[in-house]
């Protein structure tokens, strides 16, 4: 048996998404910037996709800009808005696609401030309020953490930022397609999304920029995407992504119920292991992710590798190499004991309860 429980790293592409891409890789191969019929066909497909994303998320089509994924969206938005405000407020639990940009911006003279983080992974909201009351800022706080699943209070942060003339960007890579998100009511000014986290293809994503704001392009070389992102659009990727997003949002309620059930089953079956603990807010966090610290006595560099040999794919956090568990910058920030190995299991609608049981029995064999 095999159990792929690393859906926060990437997901299986939905068949429907894959099928929708095929014509744009074979017969409909026009460049969307070409004026002839081949080009116009590709352009029409992209604009239909833009409309669909906008409709699904409560935005307007002009506010959606296609990118190569979440990393590019984060880079583009942060570089543009942090330079405008001269100050960036974020947290050390963000993905490296935010942290490394913040680090570079700091070297370039931007005032970068990292909020304090509590033991469940929540940023200090009072500190944020004090800071932005003093000076309007660019704020970047992720919707849901990719290692622990901790979900920040997006509606409250949005209101706070709007009231204090600050720009609120959220890396929503783990949330889009998994949580109901209505951009017409949330005061989010910029958002990053990635297709391969919601059963779309890799190498494609989008950013949302609220129409009150404009960002400078990070990638230069053409007028595409309303002059916000140069380069020939990945037509097939965009079509596949939007099909995947439509499927996810159409079935959101039932998928949430189903995947939540898998997570609860996992927790119920693993919690009796002596010395095991949960990282992050496992009760209120994202229903797709469970992060555990294993007993010190079982901490073993080869645990992930051995799990993989048994047929269970999990992760040691955001980064791991050659099956070895590496220290996670997120867990470190939350004060989790680094001597105890941490494992992340993440679920999708394509997992089954048999796979959960199989993963638990495999893990128990390795921990005993």
Q: Is 97 helix (H, G, I), strand (E, B) or coil?
A: helix
CA–CA–CA angle 274, 350, 242 (5° rounding): 130
| Nearer to ligand PLP among residue 314 and residue 360 (C-beta) | 314
Name the nearest CA neighbour of 91 among 109, 116, 67. Answer: 116
Q: Is 88 helix (H, G, I), strand (E, B) or coil?
A: strand
Q: Smallest gap, in angstroms, from Cβ of residue 293 to ligand PLP?
A: 20
Q: Smallest gap, in angstroms, from Cβ of residue 174 to ligand PLP?
A: 5
Residues annotated as catalytic are: 320
Q: Give the C-alpha distances (Å, rounded to integers) separating 304 from 77, 122, 166, 265, 329.
A: 35, 27, 42, 21, 18
Write the burial class of residue 236 (CB in 10 Å: 0-12 exposed, 13-18 middle, 19+ buried): buried
How far is 178 from 358, CA to CA, in rounded Å? 25
Q: Smallest gap, in angstroms, from Cβ of residue 88 to ligand PLP?
A: 16
Tokens of 93: 């639990």
- Residues lying near ligand PLP in the complex (CB under 6 A) are found at 69-71, 95, 97, 142, 146, 171, 173-174, 194, 205
| Nearer to ligand PLP among residue 115 and residue 360 (C-beta) | 115
Q: Smallest gap, in angstroms, from Cβ of residue 118 to ligand PLP?
A: 19
Q: Smallest gap, in angstroms, from Cβ of residue 142 to ligand PLP?
A: 6
| Nearer to ligand PLP among residue 205 and residue 317 (C-beta) | 205
Q: Is 362 helix (H, G, I), strand (E, B) or coil?
A: helix
| Nearer to ligand PLP among residue 146 and residue 248 (C-beta) | 146
Judge whether 348 and 354 are in contact, CB under 8 Å: no
| Nearer to ligand PLP among residue 68 and residue 137 (C-beta) | 68
How far is 213 from 145, CA to CA, in rounded Å? 26
The DSSP letter of residue 342 is E
């Amino acid at each position: 048996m095999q159990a792929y429980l690393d859906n926060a790293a990437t997901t299986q592409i939905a068949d429907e998404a894959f099928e929708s891409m095929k014509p744009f890789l074979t017969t409909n191969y026009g460049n969307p910037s070409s004026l002839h019929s081949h080009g116009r066909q590709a352009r029409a497909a992209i604009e239909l996709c833009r409309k669909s994303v906008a409709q699904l998320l409560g935005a307007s089509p002009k506010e959606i800009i296609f990118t190569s994924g979440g990393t590019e969206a984060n880079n583009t938005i942060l570089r543009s808005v942090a330079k405008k405000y001269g100050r960036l407020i974020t947290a050390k639990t963000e993905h490296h696609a935010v942290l490394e940009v913040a680090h570079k911006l700091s070297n370039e003279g931007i005032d970068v401030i990292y909020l304090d983080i509590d033991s469940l992974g929540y940023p200090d909201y009072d500190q944020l309020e004090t800071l932005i009351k003093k000076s309007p800022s660019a704020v970047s706080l992720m919707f849901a953490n990719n290692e622990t699943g901790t979900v920040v209070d997006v509606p409250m942060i949005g209101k706070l930022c709007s009231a204090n003339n600050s720009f609120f960007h959220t890396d929503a890579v783990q949330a889009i397609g998994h949580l109901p998100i209505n951009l017409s009511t949330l005061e989010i000014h910029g958002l990053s999304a990635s297709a391969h986290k919601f059963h779309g293809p890799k190498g494609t994503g989008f950013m949302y920029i609220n129409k009150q704001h404009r960002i400078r392009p990070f990638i230069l070389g053409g007028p595409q995407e309303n002059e916000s992102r140069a380069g020939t659009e990945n037509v097939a990727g965009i079509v596949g992504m939007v099909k995947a997003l439509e499927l996810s949002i159409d079935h959101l309620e039932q998928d949430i119920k189903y995947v939540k059930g898998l997570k609860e089953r996992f927790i119920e079956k693993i919690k009796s292991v002596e010395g095991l603990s949960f990282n992050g807010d496992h009760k209120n966090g994202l229903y797709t992710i469970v992060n555990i610290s294993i007993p010190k006595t079982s901490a073993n560099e080869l645990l992930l590798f051995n799990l993989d040999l048994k047929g269970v794919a999990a992760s040691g956090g955001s980064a791991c190499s050659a099956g070895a568990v590496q220290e996670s910058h997120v867990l470190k920030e939350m004060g989790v004991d680094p001597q105890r190995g941490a494992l992340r299991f993440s679920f999708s609608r394509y997992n089954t309860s048999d796979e959960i049981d199989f993963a638990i029995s495999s893990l128990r064999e390795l921990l005993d």
